[in-house]
Amino acid sequence: MEQTIPEVIRTVPLQHYVFFAAALFSIGVLGVLTRRNAIIIFMCVELMLNAVNVLLAAFSAYRADPNGQVFVFFIMAVAAAEVAVGLGIIVMIYRNIQNTDVNLLDRLKW
């Protein structure tokens, strides 16, 4: 039998999506706060963004409202651009200090 994607999504209860996204987001926040490697932090940021994306897609399906999915595409596009810029910055940092530890970048104090 043929099932549309929203129908597939709706096979899982909404609460599960919410809990899953919250867990994913928290992992991202903790990662950003605790890790020192710039690339890991970057990945954690992506994790947070995607947690939101999952949530958006789930609500979109449950409410039969395509606006949520449009928004997901926006976030993905912006995230892609951000990744390009962010990675560029990280590369430049690495070239300068042969390291990607953010704690070494503490000159902007006092």
Binding of residue 102 to other proteins (CB under 8 A):
yes
Helices (H) then strands (E): counts for the chain: 4, 0
Burial class from Cβ neighbours inside 10 Å (0-12, 13-18, 19+) for residue 28 reads: buried
Question: Is 38:103 a contact under the CB 8 Å cutoff?
Answer: no
Binding of residue 103 to other proteins (CB under 8 A):
yes
Binding of residue 52 to other proteins (CB under 8 A):
no
Place of tokens 């992506």: 46
Q: Which of 13, 22, 29, 98 is the binder for other proteins (CB under 8 A)?
A: 29
CB nearer other proteins, residue 33 or residue 84: 33
CB nearer other proteins, residue 95 or residue 107: 107
Which positions lie near other proteins, rule CB under 8 A?
Answer: 29, 32-34, 36, 102-103, 105-110
